[in-house]
Amino acid sequence: MIGNITTGLFGQQIPTPVIDFLVVAGGGAGGNSIGYVEGVSGGGAGGFRTSQLTASLSTNYTVTVGAGGAGKATYGDGNYGNNSVFNTITSAGGGFGSSDGAGGPGGSGGGGGAGSTQRGVGAGNTPSTSPSQGNNGGLGSTGVNTERAGGGGGGAGAVGGASSANNGGNGGVGSANTLTGSSVTYAGGGGGACQVGTMGTGGTGGGGAGVNTGSGVSGTANTGGGGGGRAQQSGSGSGGSGGSGVVILSYSSSFTITIGAGLTGSTTTVGGNKVTTITAGTGNVSWA
């Protein structure tokens, strides 16, 4: 799209590009209960923001694609996802999934873990951003030993599912976007897990499922999906890592983008627009 007209040095009119953007942050990692009988929650999806910006020609705009939170092979909470940035727009990394406490706040909140009554039940978390970029995680359920199950991480389109005895909560679904020319769903939450029973599924939009053997399923790269929880008392494995984020920029084909050093990206044509998808790194973009 061609935006407002500015006045040049000699009164000539200069078109400026209007950028339709999608900025998705990295998803949070699921928790890990290795060595303990607990339910484990899924990580929250990375923040999801989409709007429009009028750019100036030959001006650098900062872009950062946030990495997903790394899953831990040791007992405890997962890691937060990392922020993604376009100019002044920041999408917050997803909240971590927990072992037996509250999930972390983020673009979308991590689900609540599940321990005994004495250790407390983790509550779903309100995203820590304003305006909201996602949804709360789901509540974990308490109970005796193997009944405990973790809640699902929140997604951009819905809250994470609450767990019940022997049933992990499903990750919240993500939100769809059509800047690339087709509808793609991003930022689904990670699924919760339990020692025995039904594992929580990952939310549509790249969320990973919970497991009770091996490692939690990681969020899909460049979707911002949350990682699945891992509820296994013994054996090697980790909580699922969060999926990395993405920055997508759509603008009139009459303009040319320069993708600076430090960024990994590609440009295609969709109708009368160019669409640049940046999948990793930190650096600058500019238009001519």
**Confidence check: pLDDT of 4 > 50:** no
Looking at residue 11, what is its pLDDT?
55
- Omega into 15 within 30° of 0, i.e. cis? no
CA atoms within 13 A on the CB side of 118: 2
φ, ψ of residue 260 to 5 degrees: the values are -75, 170
Read off the pLDDT band of 211 (50, 70, 90).
Answer: very high
Q: What is the mean pLDDT of the chain?
A: 91
Between 24-28, 83-87, 163-167, 204-208, the lowest mean confidence (pLDDT) is in 163-167
Q: Are 240 and 30 in contact (CB under 8 A)?
A: yes
As a whole number of angstroms, the distance between CA 140 and CA 148 comes to 8
**This prediction's pTM:** 0.94
pLDDT value at 225 more than 50 = yes
Whether the pLDDT of residue 117 is over 60: the answer is no
State mean pLDDT over 155-182. Answer: 96
What is d(CA 181, CA 159) in angstroms, rounded to the nearest whole number? 27
Q: For residue 10, is pLDDT > 80?
A: no
- pLDDT at residue 119, as a whole number: 43
- Cα of first residue to Cα of last residue in the chain, in angstroms, is 14
Task: Annotate 42-63 with b (16+ C-beta within 10 A) or e (fewer).
Answer: bbbbbbbbbeebebeeeeebeb
Q: Lowest-confidence range among 31-45, 151-165, 212-226?
A: 31-45
Taking residues 149-154, report their average pLDDT.
95
Q: Are 142 and 162 in contact (CB under 8 A)?
A: no
- The widest CA-to-CA distance across the chain, in whole angstroms, is 78
Residue 280: CB atoms within 10 Å: 18
**Is the pLDDT confidence value at 164 over 50?**
yes
Looking at per-residue pLDDT, the higher value among 239 and 148 belongs to: 239
The Cα 173–Cα 186 span in angstroms is: 9
Lowest mean pLDDT among 48-57, 82-91, 208-217, 231-240: 231-240
- Give the Cα separation of 206 and 119 in Å (integer): 31
Contact 240, 216 (CB under 8 A): yes
- pLDDT at residue 171 above 70? yes
